[in-house]
Every structure is written in C-alpha cells, then in structure tokens.
Structure 1
Amino acid sequence: HMGSSAPSPDLDNTCGTFIPEMVSLEPLRKKVVLLVMDGLVGCYEGGPGTWNATWDVWERKSLFFATDPVALDHVGWHILDQYRVRRGWPPVAEMGTEKSDPQKSEQFRRRQPEHVQIAGEKGLGIFEPGRIEYRHIRLAG
C-alpha cells in the first residue's frame, strides 16, 4: 500500500477475510460471468517485485477460463505449488515467518492463500479438488 517503504515481518495478511467478503458482495457476484486467469508467465516465488532476491518466474504459456472463482484460484494455487516443489521450494502454505523464511525476506507471517478456502466455506465456489471439473486443452501451433 502507499507509504510503505520496507517489508515488516509483523504484517498480518488480512486478504484471507477481505477477499471473500469483497467477492460475496451482490453487485460483484451478479456481474461475474466468466473469469480469465493469465497464466502466460507465472511468478512462483518472491513476487511481486524484483527487490526480493528470490524473485523468479516461469513461462507457463496458459490461459485459464472459469465460471467459479474459488475453483479457478485453487487450480492456480495447485499449479504454483507443483512448480515450486520442482524448483526446490516448499509449497506456498509452508512459507511466511511462522513457517519458513530461508531468505529472511518475508513480509507476512503466513503466505497461505487462505482466502481461497474461506471463499469456498462461504459458499462462493468449490474448494474441494475432487469436485472441481478441470480440462486441459492444448492448442496446436
């Protein structure tokens, strides 16, 4: 946010409750028809700025389309965790000053994208992986 010049290890990540509350507002819910997630280039660690020495991205070369915001976020979260593990990083939920901070550069106590699970619990979409209908379509080219 404006006015911040350096990360603080004492910051709470209030996105867990804020994001589901915003998504649950009726004016937003009735306007959302199709969600598009840009997966062309994915930041799997240290984002969103290059100030973080661990910052890195990969070319996923994907676009994701959904009608369920919770399912879409959970699929994206799963893909990020899979890539992180292949690159030697723990899953996102295991990062943060409460869990693991190998570079001593964390801003948050938890990095768990808990807003996705909370949104599912609020009935804003499907969180359970076994209930998410997901298709991978490769385009020729």
Structure 2
Amino acid sequence: MRTLTSTLISTFAVLATLFSVYAVGQASIRQHEFETEAQRQLYQTLIQELRCPKCQNQNIADSNAPLSEDMRDRTYTMVMEGKSREEIIDYMVARYGNFVHYRPPFNWYTSILWWGPLLIIAIGVGVAWMMSRKRKQPLALSEEEQERLKQLRKPNHD
C-alpha cells in the first residue's frame, strides 16, 4: 500500500512539474495584436531577419533569450508607431551593431569579409606562379661540371 501511495505521489509531482513548465513556456510567448496584415508581415519579416546578439546564429523569433524578447517587443512597438523596415533595422544596428542583421551592409569594415578570400586566393596563385617560374630556369653549371656531364652522357664503348 505504501509503495502504491509513493508511486502516485511521484507521478503527480512529475505531472505537476511538466504542466508548470509548459504553462511558463506558453506565458513567455507573447501574442501581439496588429491593426493591419501589412504590420503583421513587417513584424514577422523583421524578427526573422534580426539576429540575437547573445545567441549568435539564431534569429530573435526563435531565441528565448531575454534580450531577444526585448528586441521583439521593441520591434513590435516601432512597427505599431509606423516606422519603416529601414528605420527599424537602422535602430537595431545602431544599438547592437552590424552583427544583429543577417545581411550586413557593404562598407569599409565588412569589405574584408567580401574581398579577403579573393585576396588570399590571388596571393596563393601569385606565389605558385613565381615558384613555378623559378623551377623552370636551368641550373648554371661550371665548365668542369659541364665536362663531367658530357662524359656521363657519352655511351660507354669499352
């Protein structure tokens, strides 16, 4: 009897824990109300495009980090204020840096990401070309070495 009671209590404790975790998880997902479908689309597009600075390679739509939650709330507020996509992205980049946007702009700082690999390939091709040209040049032999080479090339008529 005692085993059955302790099993029931353990089962109840596990179920209560699962339900409370589920309830907390559902409570953390906020449902936003939009006035128009265009606002909803803009919001969805932005939270898919903006990256969580804390989670590295996860957008703010999928991240559970408190920072992502704040970014989603700020995005929602700006969408409801009538801000454009560019204004919202500019705000987020100004606040969190270029890393926050999956498609950073092409500028002096990001040009290294674009041109760096091409520069490395060009240097590698140049080095390989220079090395191959050096190897094709014949070795300069002294007169003594040239005589010895002629002797070695002559057929042996013994």
Q: Higher relative CO (CA 8 A, sep ≥ 6), structure 1 or 2? A: 1
Instruction: Indicate the structure with greater strand content.
Output: 1
Given the two structures, how large is their TM-score scaled by the length of structure 2? 0.23
Given the two structures, how large is their TM-score scaled by the length of structure 1? 0.25
Instruction: Indicate the structure with greater helix content.
Output: 2
